Structure 1
Amino acid sequence: MSTTRTLLLVCVSILYYSIHGGCNKIGVNNGLMGDNLPPAEEVVTLMQNNNIGKLRIYKAEPLVLKAYANSGIEIILSVANFQLRNISSSQEAADKWVDDNIRAYYPATDIKYIAVGNQALEKPEYGMYVFPALNNIELAVQKAGLEDKIKVSTTHGRAVIPISFFPSKGAFSDSVKDNMRSFLQFLEDHGSPYMANVYPYFGYLENANISLDFALFKSTAPIVRDGLRIYNNLFDALVDTIYSAMEALGFSNIPIVVTESGWPSYGSGENGVATMENAQTYSNNLIKHVLSKTGTPKRPGKSIETLIFALFNENMKGGDETERHFGLFYPNKTPVYPVNFSP
């Protein structure tokens, strides 16, 4: 790609984020794996009352999309993993998905991003469908004349980039590296962000060398010295590890949107760190940090567009008990613990 085109894409990307309001409000993920969750209209009011400005929706549903019309809340709308195979092999299916779920509601419902799959690239049953599905959805968005307003990407979890003690050594896993080059080129070509699910909670559990204070933003002294860069929290280290991994493949201008980050307030085992106190500490410190202009050591002076997982505790989620206790609110809309959404 020519230098002129690269600079043009960067400028378009900066303008796009300015138009959409940037990172001045925190976001949340609204999972639906519960049998006692409030209706969408009540969720809209709850978010507005708490100054929560962004929402990730995992499944496109007409009643939900209608509820957010003229709400002032930006939406990340997902293409579910089970839909990837059909959309990857059929432009007609991609066009229909965009017609049914985007054109029918936009711009009254402010859909900012389309996330084509969730951590699908690292899952063998879905990985092969991600890139063709991305291309088909992007083409459908272009046909709708919305390519400058709605950006297309997909989310990635911790499996695609192993934790590195030094963020500057960040690198993609060998299993995804070849596909990642094409994906990053797609993002650069279309001015789309890299979407990352960033969890210091799991990083702490999986690495005995990480301290709890480092994971909770509580460290008051440098913990990691990486050349001239100093890290005192794990969140920044994980985000900068992603930047380094992209740079290692030749991509240095792609922004990161943190599509998930959170800490459970209850659960069995897990070294005893899934507590109300730790969840409150993490959530409040995360919000304060990402809404500030601190940025990360590799990208200082910039807010970090971030969505917390999750809005509600979800009683029907499987797995460990902690999976049902990542919520900021109980289904009855009372806070699980006090959170300052506008620090």
Structure 2
Amino acid sequence: METAIAAVLLLASVFFQGVVEGNIGVNYGTVANDLPPPSEVARFLLESTTINRVRMFDADPEMIQAFAHTGIAVTVTVPNELIPRLTKLSFAQQWVKTNVQPYVPATNLIRILVGNEVLSTANKLLIAGLVPAMQTLHTALAAVSLDRRIKVSTPHSLGILSTSSPPSTGRFRQGYDVHVIKPLLSFLRATNSPFMINPYPFFGYSAETLDYALFRPNSGVLDENTQRVYTNMLDAQLDAVFSAMKILGFTDVEIVIAETGWPSDGDEGQVGVNAESAAEYNGNLREHVMSGVGTPLMPNRTFETYIFALFNENLKPGPLCERNFGLFQPDLTPVYDIGIMRPTVADAAAAAAYDNRILLMIICLVDWFLYLALAG
């Protein structure tokens, strides 16, 4: 009897937990001439999707203002070319005064990124100025008491690794590891900011590893050094970064997935480049990073994740796939479904009626078992 009652109570607790929205964001790129106005985009994300965070590639005032009073967490970016100037405190203070202070707290600004994939530029001036610029920007935020609310970081491509396979052998590139990345990680640890990485299985797969890249069932890949089996390429990429961080002694710094995605269209002959594969990757990605399973070397974790990208961007250069990473068309219709759309009013009403019936059944079962227990 006690076992039966416990089972019913467990069922009730699961029901009452409801649906928890995870930290799933999008990269809001604007390399297009057919996108809706930012105010419409912000309203759409708030009312029609479960996306609760947005990363911008600049600090456009109209875009920042559009997210005021939505509660959506916003990350803005200082362009690479401003990094040398940002090392000067006066410039950093003016940048904060112009691009941050007018918008908080109405807009939920949570992070400022200094540049994008700076170490991959091979520009010695930018690379040398990266960590000093981050430190100076943090100082400017602290001067106006915004350093606790708004964190400073910078995203990296997987090109910062000299080795990544198997994941246990992950290493940062020699020279950058000690002179740039170690001071960077020290800054992130001191300011409780995340290490941000752009892992893209799309850029590392082949026809033979497509299932592995898309989180489909597969035989897995064994890391002989750790005897861990990897069943998807994203976990392997994340653990390679973790292994590199471990060598430098920074396993306590949080990892955030700043960019990842899969295109829905590409040039003729590209295997696995279609709407079905894109839906599979991003849908499985969303489920995986929110599951709490983590990775073989980072178990029991969720990962704040930003899908690339919000829109198909028709002016992006390069191959066709570059213009087709979007979750949505410019008219705000989904390119494919990955479970991020909120239900319509009719769907919500039907779901509520169903939930009420389930709730009533649970209450009746609890009452019945309590009656039997007391009678016995």
- Cα separation, 2, equivalents of 1:321 and 1:92: 43
* Residue pair 1:193, 1:256 contacting (<8 A) in 2 also: yes
What is residue 27 of structure 2 aligned with on the other side? 29
Asked if residue 155 in structure 1 is aligned to residue 155 in structure 2, the reply is: yes
Which residue of 1 is the match for residue 215 of structure 2? 217
Aligned to 1:108: 106
Aligned position for 2:8: none
Kept in 1: contact 2:313–2:323 (CA 8 A): yes
Moved more, 285-294 or 303-312: 285-294
User: 1:169 and 1:99 mapped to 2: Cα distance?
Assistant: 44
Distance between the aligned counterparts of 2:162 and 2:310, measured in 1?
28
Query: Hey, what does 2:14 align to over in structure 1?
Result: none
Structure 1 length-normalised TM: 0.88
Match of 2:4 in 1: none
- Counterpart in 2 of 1:138? 138
Segment drifting more, 96-105 vs 194-203? 96-105
1:229-249 deviation digits (Å, cap 9, x = unpaired) = 221001111111111101111
The amino acid that maps onto 2:31 is M
Deviation (angstroms), 1:283: 0.8
User: Residue by residue, what CA displacement relative to the aligned partner does 1:69-112 show, whole Å, maximum 9, x if unpaired?
Assistant: 11020011111112112212x21111111111111111111111
Map residues 82-231 of structure 1 onto 2, 5 A cutoff: 82-88=81-87, 90-125=88-123, 126-162=126-162, 164-177=164-177, 178-204=179-205, 211-226=209-224, 227-231=226-230
Runs (5+) with no aligned partner, structure 1: 1-21
Task: Spell out the pairing of 1:233-272 with structure 2 (5 A cutoff).
Answer: 233-268=232-267, 271-272=270-271
* 2:324 corresponding residue in structure 1: 325
Note closer, same or farther for the CA distance 1:308–1:80 as it changes in structure 2 (3 Å cut): same
Distance 2:120 2:67 in 1: 31
Q: 1:290–1:270: structure 2 CA closer, same or farther, 3 Å change rule?
A: farther
- The 8 Å contact of residues 29 and 55 in structure 1, kept in 2 or not, is answered as yes
Q: Deviations over 1:183-232 (max 9, x none)?
A: 11111111110010110101215xx8x61111000034432345242210
Give the secondary structure class of the aligned counterpart of 2:171: coil
Q: Which residue of 2 aligns with 1:6?
A: none
Aligned twin of 1:287: 286
Distance 2:175 2:335 in 1: 39
Q: CA deviation at 1:175?
A: 4.6
Aligned-pair identity in percent equals 38
Displacement after TM superposition at 1:290 (Å): 0.9
Q: Residue 42 of structure 2 is aligned with which of 37, 41, 44?
A: 44
Q: SS state of the match for residue 146, structure 1?
A: coil
How far apart, in 2, do the equivalents of 1:341 and 1:92 lie? 42
Q: Which amino acid aligns with 2:172?
A: F
Aligned length: 318
The residue number in structure 2 matching 1:77 is 76
Q: Deviations over 1:277-303 (max 9, x none)?
A: 111110110111111111111221111
Instruction: Give, in angstroms, the shift of residue 50 of structure 1.
Output: 0.9
Give unpaired runs (5+ residues) of structure 2. Answer: 1-19, 343-376
1-structure distance, mates of 2:171, 2:310 = 31
Supply the distance in 2 between the matched residues of 1:276 and 1:175 (Cα, whole angstroms): 41
The AA in structure 1 aligned to 2:213 is: A
- Residue pair 1:163, 1:203 contacting (<8 A) in 2 also: no
Aligned match of 2:372: none
**Stretches (4+) displaced over 3 A:** none
How many angstroms does 1:272 deviate by? Answer: 2.5
Cα contact 2:212–2:220 (8 A) shared by 1: no
Instruction: Find the aligned partners of 1:132 and 1:52 in 2 and give their Cα distance.
Output: 33
Identify if the C-alpha distance between structure 1 residues 145 and 122 changes in structure 2 by more than 3 Å, giving closer, same or farther: same
The CA distance in 1 between the partners of 2:34 and 2:270, in whole Å, is 29
Return the alpha-carbon distance in structure 2 between the equivalents of residues 337 and 194 of structure 1. Answer: 30
Distance apart, 1:275 and its partner CA: 1.4
Q: Larger deviation: 120-129 or 238-247?
A: 120-129
Letter in 2 for 1:179: V
TM-score by length of 2: 0.81
